[in-house]
Amino acid sequence: MIRPFKCLFCVFCLAALELRGYTLSLHDNILEPLNSLLLQREPGKAYSKFSLRKPSLPDEDICYIVPGKSETLHNCNFNSTAKTFLVIHGWMVSGLFESWVAKLVAALYDREKDANVLVVDWLDIAQNHYAVAAHKTQEVGQEVGHFIEWIEETTNIPLEKIHLIGYSLGAHVAGIAGSSATKKVGRITGLDPAGPYFEGVHAHRRLSPDDAHLVDVLHTFSGGTLGLSIGIEQPVGHVDIYPNGGSFQPGCNLRGALENLGYYGLLAMNDVIKCEHERSVHLFIDSLLNGAEASKAYSCGSNMMFERGVCLRCHKNRCNTVGYDARTVHKPHSMKMFTKTRASMPFRVHHYQLKMHFTTKTYQSVTEFMVTVSLYGSNGNAENLHLNVNGEIGTSTTHSFLLVTEEDIGELLMLKLKVEDSSSLLNMMWPWWNGDSPELHVQKISIWIGETQKKMIFCSKDLQNTNLQKFEVIFVKCKSTWNRSSLRCKYRGQ
């Protein structure tokens, strides 16, 4: 039997499916105690506790600041001139803080030595059924908002110095807190805000751009995952960043979990849900610890466009930094941004757009084949990277690709290009179409590097041998004497 409190995926499934109007046999049993759990709180009883943690003990709650008791600020050595962070956890199945809380506290102190880092403890509510915890975010958020106002009145700390960091349900608690305060706080960071019960609802019931001067959001497990939305898919901030499209994160082994679904049931998904959903937290921790090499995100209309590499330009503030160093963007609407990451920390990768002009000698066209690219730079190499060519290749077509490298290879000096398999369907079918061996030529590649905002043009080193079906074609920086007309003439003379 699957225990609902022990299976993260089960409860998210139930919440998401309930929103879609499905009726499940487990529904009545799981939500039976809901009415009693939603009773009003006892008079004078608070939902939240505020622990000011120390840099030397990031995982210990040894000093609590109590609203209305100003002496607790002094007792806990609250610094009224420093930045103040409120870390707000999400739904908890164990009733205990998860390991990421201490890691985030330590990383914040590593970056901001004199800061106040408070952990907002609302475990008494957060460890209940997901539906109850989601409903109570309104009251918990209002309570946190009152705490912020009390801090400002008591210490005269500018609200611009207050930064709320909320994960999952905690992101919506942060949003409600921000909207409850009389004046806006400086910043709210939403780390994969929860989707069930919040997707598509009015802004005053969830995290929204109105809640702080800067609201930045990382979406790592949202958007149609198994037909569900664990994290919220819609943009809810000024800057909404979708690493790896916001759905599947490298290293989380979703495929393996799906393969074991029949044997282990829904429990097979538990670790994967945690890995994908919690990746947002670790991306933010990474940005604190590796700020000098923080990931860059790019504004784009859709993840599909981003995957083609067409969104790597940074003009007109179309780029931003992932995580702690994200900057305010003055836009009337949310800005959706995308980036790629590695499977582990440090998560930064390097983005390249490769624009290639393919030519053939026939009017026949082919679709779907794989090209292997190797990059050689001043600091290292990145070899055997794959590009999937999806779309018609006719007598003259241009395709754009996104290519990423995990290492910084330095200044790009040379490329090698080849079709993955000479025995591919393209090779086998082409003679049947026209009786000739296939010829797929590339003579020039235009490259835009996202991290440096630099454009480079590479030309085939040997213009006699540019057929990818027969050769591994080498490309070097184009000489100034090589121009488009000479290349066209050379090709036509073959």
By annotation, the residues acting in catalysis are: 168, 192, 277
SS3 for 221-247 is CECCECCECCECCCCCCCEEEEEHHHC
Helix H or strand E segment including 34: helix 34-37
d(CA 338, CA 306): 7
SS3 for 260-296 is CHHHHHHHHHHHHHHHHHHHHHHHHHHHHHCHHHCCE
First to last CA, the chain: 71
Encoding tokens for residue 243?
A: 């690493």
What are the residue ranges of helices labelled H in 330-471?
Answer: 425-434
**Which of 156, 140, 87 lies closest to 117, judged by CA?**
87
Percentages (nearest 5) of helix, strand, coil residues in the chain: 30, 25, 40
Encoding tokens for residue 333?
A: 């609407």
Do residues 127 and 95 make contact, with C-beta atoms less than 8 angstroms apart?
yes
Do residues 327 and 387 make contact, with C-beta atoms less than 8 angstroms apart?
no
Encoding tokens for residue 257?
A: 């979990």
**Which of 324, 283, 347 lies closest to 108, judged by CA?**
324
Helix (H, G, I), strand (E, B) or coil at 139: helix
Cα angle for residues 17, 21, 26 (degrees, 5° grid)? 55
Cα angle for residues 138, 221, 372 (degrees, 5° grid)? 160
The torsion angle over the Cα atoms of residues 144, 146, 147 and 148, rounded to 10 degrees, is 90
Do residues 340 and 298 make contact, with C-beta atoms less than 8 angstroms apart?
no
Q: What interhelical angle do 8-19 and 270-289 show, nearest 10?
A: 100
Do residues 197 and 162 make contact, with C-beta atoms less than 8 angstroms apart?
no
d(CA 237, CA 207): 7
d(CA 404, CA 244): 11
Residue 211 is labelled as binding a ligand: yes
48-to-55, 65, 124, 208 alpha-carbon distances in Å: 22, 11, 8, 22
d(CA 416, CA 376): 8
The torsion angle over the Cα atoms of residues 386, 389, 394 and 399, rounded to 10 degrees, is -90
Annotated binding-site positions for Ca(2+):
206, 211
